[in-house]
Amino acid sequence: LAEKRHLLQWDSDIAYRKDHKNLGTQLPSFAPVTTRRIPRRPYAGHFGSNKTLTGIAKHYYWPHMADDVQKFVTSCDTCQRMKSSKQKKAGLLQPLPVPEQPWQVVSLDFITGLPPTSSGHDAILVVIDKFSKMGHFIPTHTTARTEETAQLFVRHIISQHGIPTTLISDRDPKFTSKFWKELMSLLGTKLAMSSAYHPQTDGQTERLNQIVEQLLRAACKDDISKWDLHLPVLEFAYNNATHAATGQTPFFLCYGRHPLTPQKPTASPTVQPAHDFITTMHQLWDRTHKRLLDIQQQQKRQADRHRNDHTISVGDQVLLDTRNLDISHLPSKLRPRFCGPFLVEAQVTPVTFRLRLPATWKIHNAFHVQLLKPYRDPNTIFVGRQPPPPPPSSSK
């Protein structure tokens, strides 16, 4: 201790300070005693480092006390589980590769919750080309089997645009089924699915879903019972509108010309020589590819300003965000913000990790790093702290 010896009175390895201004207790700097003196009881409130240090300093002192309190609080098992994270989002943005021509990379998703029509449709299968941004809005129903969805995909997409090299989707049961995986494997199409509870992987389709819903609301304001009859016209309007990312209409990027509309003259257009047409289209695709790359890099720089690179590695112990888990025995307001810890078994992508979950959990075990938090074992530095409780027994 750095105090003057004549100001200290020792008793059982504890030094009591005799300073009349602050009758505090001096403690030696070793973990077992420190653990007993730092308050983590309910009445202490589980506050952060500053408030905890202020409360302890009223009664105790030991060398490097601020550092010990900081380590103790950040490794508190209760705080790690119960408190929401105030840090920047973990994991830098990992953009998907930009395709070089139309209909190489395709994403698809469902819009559900629509009123049933006389044709039995209550959902829309939305398919979008990641290069030209062309979209197809296919009416379907929520009870459609995987085989029916596959037939729609062949009839409306493959028959018109060929077989895509990559198919991006969420983890809808239709897209994770054995039939769908085998079909795409036979077609030579690579499946790229989002990680569990992280739909941002396919943000472009999510945005198109919003546009389709907006168009439907405007078109069906007088009669919502026949919304499926409006889809072909809305699809044409969308594909004939200039897209902000490409600076072109999806129709023109795919076919090299604009479609005839009631406003266009009926005179026959000048026929462009085939060689010149092919050269023009390739130049257009090259410019579009470069433009998409530039926009993607701008979006990455903007997104990474609000993110931190993660420090998680295979073999680490991590906590899992509970906001998407079914912990039905607890109300949402009192539910722990994180559960675990769980072992990181593998790194699937730069920002996706596979965890070793309990056998009773019937969920996909690959998670984006934004849903994970490194676990600080409370017994590593401060031996004798209470072990963490087991994770929830089940989850859907």
* Tens of pLDDT, residues 307-323: 777 778 899 899 988 88
Which range (44-58, 175-189, 308-322) has the least confidence? Answer: 44-58
Q: What span, in angstroms and rounded, lies between the C-alpha atoms of 374 and 312?
A: 7
Question: Quick one: tokens of 351?
Answer: 């920002």
Question: Residues 340, 77: contact at Cβ < 8 Å?
Answer: no
User: What is the per-residue pLDDT for 348?
Assistant: 85
**Tens digit of each residue's pLDDT (9 = 90 or more) over 9-48:** 555 555 555 554 554 555 554 444 455 555 555 556 678 7
Q: Give the up-direction half-sphere exposure of residue 68: CA atoms within 13 A in the CB hemisphere.
A: 22
Q: Give the up-direction half-sphere exposure of residue 270: CA atoms within 13 A in the CB hemisphere.
A: 4
User: What is the per-residue pLDDT for 116?
Assistant: 93
The domain segmentation of the chain, as residue ranges, is: 5-74, 105-259+272-304, 310-381
Q: What span, in angstroms and rounded, lies between the C-alpha atoms of 242 and 232?
A: 18
Geometric angle at alpha carbon 276, from 271 and 237, rounded to 5°: 60
Q: What span, in angstroms and rounded, lies between the C-alpha atoms of 246 and 90?
A: 30
pTM of the complete model: 0.62
- Residue with the two structure tokens 């559960």: 339
Mean pLDDT of the chain: 78
**Tens digit of each residue's pLDDT (9 = 90 or more) over 90-124:** 666 667 788 889 999 999 999 998 999 988 999 99
Residue that wins the pLDDT comparison between 50 and 343? 343
Question: Over pLDDT 70: what percentage of the chain?
Answer: 73
- Which class is 105-259+272-304 in CATH? alpha beta
pLDDT reading at 145 higher than 50: yes
**Which CATH architecture fits 310-381?**
Roll (2.30)
Which range (164-173, 181-190, 213-222, 248-257) has the least confidence? Answer: 213-222
pLDDT reading at 234 higher than 70: yes
User: Is residue 350 very low, low, confident or very high in pLDDT (cuts 50, 70, 90)?
Assistant: confident
Fold of 5-74: Endonuclease III; domain 1 (1.10.340)
